[in-house]
């Protein structure tokens, strides 16, 4: 049975996996927005902001403060091995230690990825990182759709029970107002 909206699946299960993109591919992905679509061919779209940090000698940054925190490590190695902290000159914040770095040894890249989800859980991605995002996100969406399909009977039963209780409460309130 196809899903009809994002309410049918757990987007939080998918979103909590996004920090893993850093260690796997060097992509910092954060949810920029999402919503349901009014057409039958798509249930909704999700927009991700993708940030990359490419170091001149070390390549893409494949660790983050969040991942280190999730692993119960300090947010950054002391001293920071990714930048040379200083408050002089025009500076950018280091993504690891958050100190100002006057002439950062990295370049920051930012882009947007638009993901459209079909009722069967297939995803269509418009991004320069479409192949990477698809290989990472498609199994997560498929897993949520399978979970929905396995539990649809319980979901429908609970939904029907809720509607019955809601109708009874409405009738009770109307009866109280008439008295």
- Domain residue extents for the chain: 6-152
**Residues near 76 by beta carbon (within 8 Å), at least 6 away in sequence:** 65, 68, 96, 97, 98
139-142: long-range pairs with CB below 8 Å, 24+: 140/13, 140/14, 140/17, 141/9, 141/14, 141/117
Q: What's the pLDDT at 179?
A: 72
- Closest of 10, 17, 24, 3 to residue 117, by C-alpha: 3
- Looking at residues 96-100, what average pLDDT do you find? 85
Asked whether the predicted pLDDT for residue 43 surpasses 80, the reply is yes
Q: What is the pLDDT of residues 111-143, one digit of tens each?
A: 999 999 998 889 999 999 999 999 999 999 999
Mean pLDDT across the chain, nearest whole number? 86
Neighbours of 174 (CB within 10 A): 9
- Please state the pTM of the whole predicted model: 0.77
Q: How confident is the model at residue 22 (pLDDT cuts 50, 70, 90)?
A: very high
Name the burial class of residue 46, with classes exposed (0-12), middle (13-18) and buried (19+) by CB atoms within 10 angstroms of its CB: buried
State how far the Cα of 52 lies from the Cα of 129, in Å rounded to an integer: 11
Q: Residue 113 has what pLDDT? A: 96
Per-residue pLDDT at 82 = 83
**Residue 21, pLDDT score:** 93
């Amino acid at each position: 049975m196809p899903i009809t909206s994002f309410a049918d699946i757990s987007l939080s299960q998918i979103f909590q996996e996004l920090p893993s993109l850093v260690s796997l591919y060097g992509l910092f992905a954060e949810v920029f927005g999402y919503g349901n679509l009014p057409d039958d061919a798509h249930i909704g779209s999700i927009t991700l902001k993708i940030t990359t940090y490419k170091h001149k000698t070390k390549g893409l940054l494949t660790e983050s403060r969040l991942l280190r925190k999730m692993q119960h490590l300090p947010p950054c190695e002391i001293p920071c091995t990714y930048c040379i902290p200083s408050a002089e000159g025009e500076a950018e914040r280091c993504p690891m230690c958050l100190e100002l770095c006057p002439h950062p040894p990295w370049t920051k890249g930012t882009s947007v990825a638009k993901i459209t989800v079909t009722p069967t859980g297939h995803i269509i991605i418009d991004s320069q990182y479409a192949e990477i995002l698809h290989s990472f996100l498609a199994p997560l969406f498929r897993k949520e759709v399978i979970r929905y399909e396995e539990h649809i009977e319980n979901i429908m039963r609970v939904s029907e029970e809720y509607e019955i209780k809601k109708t009874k409460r409405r009738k009770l309130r109307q009866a109280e107002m008439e008295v």
